[in-house]
């Protein structure tokens, strides 16, 4: 009996070691078999389960990556810091884990470059309807309690906006309560243990159904705000700039698709973000949606965000963030796409955006 | 007739009655009456079949008690949510809705089960085959024990979640990083319990073996290992529990399936019907696995009084 | 030539840089085939003496010789029966005996080993329960298995440390008879060293009784027991010599108890 159990354990161990050895990669969400074509370059892409990252989903599902010679595999992370760890360790090639995380890592001497964008907006401050009148004006925030998820984009921008108003939360003018997730923040707001809470998509769309009102959109706090940026290890960037140009071309094409194929985009996104499609649509395409999806690097806004992070004390660095933002590759990619499709309105818009925001 | 009129069956009728007769207070597009009645009838069928075929009076009684408890919980749950709408409607979905969602989620849950079992099996087995022999050897040599024991007190309590960035950086794949988290969670309780058991083994057993002139490896594996088995088993039990608890953390690393991933994912999205489904399903899986483990344990320890 | 020689044996254990003496200056010689009992009050060191003979401990001073060779540890020529845990709880009675035999000679045929085990289990009357675990056997049965194993392993010397003390009176008598039976009827008479605190038991079983003292931590008295064998319990109890001997032994033990204990302590060298 004992021998049997020991034998069973050893067989299981051997079997499992063999299995681990064989299965070298995590299965991607998509059931598409990875191509055996040798000319495709492998790329590990990290994402968060959010409609904010739809450019990745569309580029993968519609074959834009493959077109550009990239065999992309998508890996889901729940936590931006861990995603950045994976990038730092070389286990992921690229990710768009917010904007606080990459900037924080840059401040800690990790040589990461911002080469493009993913989205901006899509955050809001919510409060119960009774408090709406008060909480819709930042001036009234003195003495109030606000729930937030630390270092999230909304959190950083909010704290910066408070300081601009002369409300010093560092000295306790506002009591900031740090929560684990937007879901937890919502509960705190609903229970009225706080006066307002900072959330992001898809909770913004769900807000009304849950009995809270959107007091302020992130655009009310900071007009040209940024959210998730594309970040790559600079060393990897320099190794093969052409690969990254192709990568951005794929995202640019995905942008075009997203603009023109609303329903299919929502369907694709729903594969990766298992939330009711009506909310996804609301966040992505509704008229009052604040989420702007775009591959544009938004250099100027990123620099502003860096400064806000320094002001609010989240990072301490005298680096020049411009050294870490590379817009050349994006420009090359955009030019290439425009050359192939000179009459495409979406690409033309991207070009004018690029000139305006970088 | 007496046997049929027990508390379990009374509760059964009560729930059906409650469901059909009392109007629903909660405002919801669907009330899921069918699903609730369906599950109740299902449970009652299982219960009745067991009652007919099981002969042991004690087992029948406890089965009846457990079923009655289940009915009781469902009754209160339905009352507090659908009928009286006392509980917060987002966090506490209706039982009928949970049933409906459960049924539709079965493919995803089964897929998640196989994914989680893969991690658990490898991680846990690795922990077993490393912790037990190491602990036997170290516990047996006093000098080694005195050197290693304080270290276990420092390293043991470290929450495995802390190792995640290091696991990602050092190990080749995300999956192996996930397995590592399970491994380290299970390793320490097994190691520490085996270590202490070995060090504190009754000296008289050792003397008995010594006078039989056993060789060193016989001593370790035929005398100490079985002698320490009760300690090992308390370690493996704790290790198993911890493995499950750590599933959520382990499945945060680049995963898009798994039972732990499932509960966290939908919790992040405030999709609480799915969260409850996930919790119930995990409960079923854990029950099944610990049942098997208990069977193995009683077989291994059948020599104990 | 003696089978067992204890020359000038002393033993102490170290505690905070001092050595606490347990046995002091013990000289003892035992002939082959002799049945020797060691009795004494608790703290006299009799169990320790047995553990030294078994090779589980080493004397602080002095030598132990077996067949004129110095003892360096445990050995197959000595079988041991303890008061508790003689058997391994996770092995059945049968397996315990088989295990012991396997340790003697790994290359021996398994079938032969099993045959011997069954034979001895039968001899001690436990054939029916051979598959049971020690926890399923009474204390008396467990000791019977231990004795069966010791005899199955056929060692020249048998060391027994209060083997029947944890057993009730009736079973104890049965076990004493069993032991004498096996000892008398074996091919070669084993040399037995038997530790006990039961005076009657010592007289019934032994050729010689060694009385140890808790005060001197040494041998107080050696007494020959000359009753012819086989010894009958009820006949003996009516014998005057027996009664006198018994009385004397009890007195010796009692004296030892009421005289204060020297608490002498040695310096750790």
In tens, the pLDDT along B113-150 reads 999 999 999 999 999 999 999 999 999 989 999 999 99
CA distance B33 to chain A (A): 23
pTM for the structure as a whole: 0.80
Which of these ranges, A1-15, B221-235, C244-258, has the smallest mean pLDDT? Answer: A1-15
Distances (CA, A) of A37 to A67, A74, C243: 12, 18, 103
The fraction of chain B above a pLDDT of 70, given in percent, is 98
CA distance B182 to chain C (A): 31
pLDDT at B281 over 50: yes
Q: Do B205 and C133 touch (CB under 8 A)?
A: no
pLDDT at A27 over 50: no
Q: Based on the domain organization, do A258 and A328 belong to the same domain?
A: yes
pLDDT at B86 over 80: no
- Calculate mean pLDDT across residues C79-88: 91
Question: Is the CB of residue B2 less than 8 Å away from at least one CB of chain C?
Answer: no
If contacts are CB pairs under 8 Å, which of residues 126-185 in chain B contact chain A? 126, 128-129, 164-165, 168-170, 172-176, 179
Going by pLDDT thresholds of 50, 70 and 90, the confidence category of residue A25 is very low
Going by pLDDT thresholds of 50, 70 and 90, the confidence category of residue B159 is very high
User: Cβ neighbours of residue A174 under 8 Å, at least 6 residues apart?
Assistant: A141, A142, A143, A144, A145, A146, A162, A167
Q: Do B211 and C133 touch (CB under 8 A)?
A: no
Q: Based on the domain organization, do A110 and A240 belong to the same domain?
A: yes
- Residues of chain C with Cβ-Cβ distance to B222 below 8 Å are 99
Q: Based on the domain organization, do A45 and A182 belong to the same domain?
A: no
pLDDT at A133 over 60: yes
Size of interface A-B (CB pairs under 8 A): 101
Which chains contact A through at least 3 pairs of Cβ atoms less than 8 Å apart?
Answer: B
Residue of B nearest to C137 (CA): B305
Phi and psi dihedrals of C5, rounded to 5? -125, 125
Residue A9: the pLDDT is 59
Residue A181: the pLDDT is 86
pLDDT in tens, C107-133: 788 999 999 999 999 999 999 999 999
Residue that terminates a domain, selected from A220, A248, A282:
A220
pLDDT at B26 over 80: no
Residue that terminates a domain, selected from A168, A188, A220:
A220
Most confident of A19-28, B7-16, B192-201, C232-241: B192-201
- Residues of chain B with Cβ-Cβ distance to A26 below 8 Å are 173-175, 254-256
Structural domains of chain A, count: 2
Going by pLDDT thresholds of 50, 70 and 90, the confidence category of residue A183 is confident
Q: Based on the domain organization, do A199 and A128 belong to the same domain?
A: yes
CA distance A54 to chain B (A): 16
pLDDT at C269 over 60: no
Nearest to C56 among B211, B302, B303 (CB): B211
Q: Based on the domain organization, do A302 and A336 belong to the same domain?
A: yes
Distances (CA, A) of A26 to A23, A96, A100, A189, B254: 8, 19, 27, 37, 7
Q: Based on the domain organization, do A30 and A174 belong to the same domain?
A: no
Going by pLDDT thresholds of 50, 70 and 90, the confidence category of residue A26 is very low
Q: Based on the domain organization, do A130 and A87 belong to the same domain?
A: no
Nearest to A12 among B121, B165, B176 (CB): B121
Question: Is the CB of residue B302 less than 8 Å away from at least one CB of chain C?
Answer: yes
pLDDT in tens, C139-163: 999 999 999 999 999 999 999 999 9
pLDDT at C88 over 90: yes
Distance CA B175, CA B119 (A): 8
If contacts are CB pairs under 8 Å, which of residues 210-229 in chain B contact chain C? 210-214, 218, 222-223, 226-227, 229
Q: Based on the domain organization, do A166 and A114 belong to the same domain?
A: no
Size of interface B-C (CB pairs under 8 A): 56
- Residues of chain C with Cβ-Cβ distance to B218 below 8 Å are 103
- Residues of chain C with Cβ-Cβ distance to B212 below 8 Å are 74, 99-100, 103
Q: What is the DSSP letter of A325?
A: B
Provide the strand spans (E) within chain A: 41-48, 70-77, 94-95, 112-117, 119-120, 123-127, 145-149, 175-179, 196-200, 213-217, 229-233, 292-293
Which chains contact B through at least 3 pairs of Cβ atoms less than 8 Å apart?
Answer: A, C
Average pLDDT, chain A: 87
Q: Do A19 and B122 touch (CB under 8 A)?
A: yes
Average pLDDT, chain C: 89
- Residues of chain A with Cβ-Cβ distance to B269 below 8 Å are 49, 183, 202, 274-275
Question: Is the CB of residue A13 less than 8 Å away from at least one CB of chain B?
Answer: yes
Phi and psi dihedrals of A34, rounded to 5? -70, 140
CATH number at residue A15: 3.40.190.10
pLDDT at B19 over 90: no
Q: Do A181 and B268 touch (CB under 8 A)?
A: yes
pLDDT in tens, C39-67: 998 878 899 999 999 999 999 999 999 99
Domain extent, residue A180, equals 123-220
Residue A28: the pLDDT is 39
In a 3-state reduction of DSSP, which class is residue A109? Answer: coil
Provide the token pair at B250.
């382990």
CA distance B3 to chain A (A): 42
C-beta separation of B181 from B163 below 8 A: yes
Closest residue by Cα to residue B200 from B222, B231, B156, B226? B231
pLDDT in tens, B199-219: 999 999 999 999 999 998 899
Provide the token pair at C192.
């037995």
Neighbours of A24 (CB within 10 A): 10
Q: Do C55 and B305 touch (CB under 8 A)?
A: no
Going by pLDDT thresholds of 50, 70 and 90, the confidence category of residue C136 is very high
Residue C16: the pLDDT is 84
Q: Based on the domain organization, do A145 and A113 belong to the same domain?
A: no
pLDDT in tens, B161-173: 999 989 988 998 8
Residue that terminates a domain, selected from A196, A220, A244:
A220
Residue of A nearest to B225 (CA): A2
Residue B288: the pLDDT is 94
Is the model more confident about C269 or about A169? A169
pLDDT at A20 over 50: no
Nearest to B212 among C51, C85, C100 (CB): C100
Going by pLDDT thresholds of 50, 70 and 90, the confidence category of residue A19 is low
Q: Based on the domain organization, do A114 and A242 belong to the same domain?
A: yes
Is the model more confident about A180 or about A281? A281
Integer-rounded Cα Rg, in Å, for chain A is 22
As a CATH number, domain C4-77+190-267 is 3.40.50.300
Average pLDDT, chain B: 89
Question: Is the CB of residue C135 less than 8 Å away from at least one CB of chain B?
Answer: yes
Residue with tokens 């100027």: A300
Q: Do B168 and A27 touch (CB under 8 A)?
A: no
Distance CA A224, CA A153 (A): 13
Residue A3: the pLDDT is 58
Residue C253: the pLDDT is 87
Residue of A nearest to B249 (CA): A78
Q: Do B173 and A10 touch (CB under 8 A)?
A: no
CA distance A301 to chain B (A): 28
């Amino acid at each position: 009996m004992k021998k049997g159990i020991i034998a069973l354990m050893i067989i299981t161990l051997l079997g499992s070691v063999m299995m681990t050895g064989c299965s070298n990669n995590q299965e991607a969400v998509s059931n598409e078999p990875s191509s055996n074509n040798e000319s495709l370059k492998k790329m590990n892409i990290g994402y968060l389960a959010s409609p904010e990252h739809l450019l990745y989903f569309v580029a993968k599902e519609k074959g834009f990556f493959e077109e550009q010679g990239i065999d992309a595999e998508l890996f889901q992370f729940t936590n931006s810091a861990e995603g950045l760890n994976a990038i730092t360790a070389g286990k992921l090639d690229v990710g768009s884990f917010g904007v606080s995380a990459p900037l924080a890592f840059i401040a800690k001497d990790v040589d990461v470059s911002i080469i493009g964008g993913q989205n901006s907006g899509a955050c809001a401050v919510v409060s119960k309807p009774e408090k709406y009148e008060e909480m819709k004006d930042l001036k009234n925030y003195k003495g109030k309690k606000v729930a937030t998820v630390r270092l999230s984009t909304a959190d950083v921008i909010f704290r910066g906006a408070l300081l601009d108003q002369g409300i010093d939360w560092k000295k306790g003018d506002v009591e900031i309560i740090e929560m684990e997730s937007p879901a937890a923040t919502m509960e705190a707001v609903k229970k009225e243990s706080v006066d307002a809470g900072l959330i992001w998509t898809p909770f913004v769309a769900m807000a009304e159904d849950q009995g809270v009102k959107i007091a302020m959109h992130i655009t009310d706090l900071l007009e040209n705000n940024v959210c998730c940026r594309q970040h790559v290890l600079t060393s990897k960037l320099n190794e093969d700039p052409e690969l990254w140009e192709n990568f951005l071309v794929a995202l640019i094409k995905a942008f075009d698709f997203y603009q023109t194929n609303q329903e299919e985009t929502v369907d694709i996104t729903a594969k990766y973000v298992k939330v009711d499609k009506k909310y996804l649509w609301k966040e992505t395409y509704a008229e009052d949606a604040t989420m702007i999806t775009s591959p544009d690097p938004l250099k100027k806004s990123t620099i502003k965000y860096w400064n806000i992070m320094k002001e609010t004390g989240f990072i301490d660095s005298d680096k020049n963030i411009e050294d870490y933002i590379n817009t050349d590759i994006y420009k090359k990619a955009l030019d290439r796409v425009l050359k192939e499709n000179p009459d495409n309105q979406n690409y033309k818009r991207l070009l004018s955006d690029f000139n305006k925001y970088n | 007739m007496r046997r049929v009129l027990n508390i379990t069956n009374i509760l059964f009728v009560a729930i059906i009655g409650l469901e059909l007769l009392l109007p629903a207070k909660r405002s919801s597009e669907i009330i899921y009456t069918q699903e609730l009645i369906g599950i109740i009838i299902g449970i009652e069928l299982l219960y009745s079949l067991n009652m007919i075929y099981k002969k042991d009076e004690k087992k029948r009684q406890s089965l009846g008690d457990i079923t009655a408890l289940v009915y009781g919980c469902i009754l209160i749950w339905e009352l507090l949510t659908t009928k009286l709408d006392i509980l917060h409607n987002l966090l506490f979905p209706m039982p009928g809705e949970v049933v409906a969602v459960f049924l539709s989620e079965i493919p995803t849950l089964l897929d998640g089960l196989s994914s989680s079992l893969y991690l658990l099996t490898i991680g846990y087995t690795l922990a077993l085959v490393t912790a037990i022999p190491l602990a036997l050897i170290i516990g047996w040599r006093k000098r080694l024990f005195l050197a290693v024991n304080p270290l276990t007190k420092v390293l043991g309590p470290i929450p495995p979640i802390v190792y995640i960035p290091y696991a990602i950086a050092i190990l080749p794949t995300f999956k192996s990083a996930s397995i590592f988290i399970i491994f380290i969670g299970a390793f320490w309780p097994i190691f520490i319990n085996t270590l202490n058991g070995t060090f504190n083994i009754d000296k008289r057993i050792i003397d008995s073996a010594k006078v039989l002139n056993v060789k060193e490896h016989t001593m370790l594996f035929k005398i100490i290992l079985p002698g320490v088995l009760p300690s090992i088993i308390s370690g493996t039990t704790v290790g198993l529990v911890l493995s499950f608890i750590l599933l959520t953390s382990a499945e945060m690393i680049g995963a898009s399936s798994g039972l732990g991933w499932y509960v966290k994912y939908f919790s992040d999205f405030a999709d609480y019907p799915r969260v409850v489904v996930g919790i119930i399903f995990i409960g079923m899986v854990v029950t099944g696995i610990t049942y098997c483990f208990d069977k193995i344990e009683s077989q291994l320890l059948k020599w104990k009084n | 030539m003696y089978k067992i020689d204890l020359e000038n044996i002393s033993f102490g254990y170290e505690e905070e840089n001092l050595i606490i003496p347990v046995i002091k200056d013990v000289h003892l010689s035992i002939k082959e085939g002799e049945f020797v009992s060691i009795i004494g009050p608790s703290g006299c060191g009799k169990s320790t003496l047995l553990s030294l003979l078994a090779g589980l401990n080493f004397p602080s001073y002095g030598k132990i010789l077996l067949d004129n060779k110095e003892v360096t540890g445990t050995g197959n020529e000595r079988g041991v029966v303890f008061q508790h845990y003689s058997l391994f709880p996770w092995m059945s009675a049968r397996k315990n005996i088989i295990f012991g035999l396997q340790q003697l000679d790994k290359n021996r045929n398994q079938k032969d080993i099993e045959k011997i085990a069954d034979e001895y289990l039968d001899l001690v009357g436990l054939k029916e329960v051979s598959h049971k675990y020690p926890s399923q056997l009474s204390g008396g049965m467990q000791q019977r298995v231990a004795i069966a194993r010791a005899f199955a392993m056929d060692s020249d010397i048998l060391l027994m440390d209060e083997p029947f003390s944890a057993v009730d009176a009736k079973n104890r008598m049965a076990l004493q008879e069993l032991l004498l039976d096996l000892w008398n009827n074996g091919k070669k008479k084993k040399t037995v060293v038997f530790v006990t605190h039961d005076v009657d038991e010592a007289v019934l079983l032994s050729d010689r009784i060694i009385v140890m003292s808790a005060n001197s931590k040494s041998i107080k008295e050696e007494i020959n027991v000359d009753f012819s064998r086989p010894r009958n319990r009820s006949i003996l109890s009516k014998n005057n010599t027996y009664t006198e001997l018994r009385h004397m032994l009890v007195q010796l033990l009692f004296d030892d108890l009421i005289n204060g204990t020297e608490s002498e302590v040695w310096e750790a060298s």
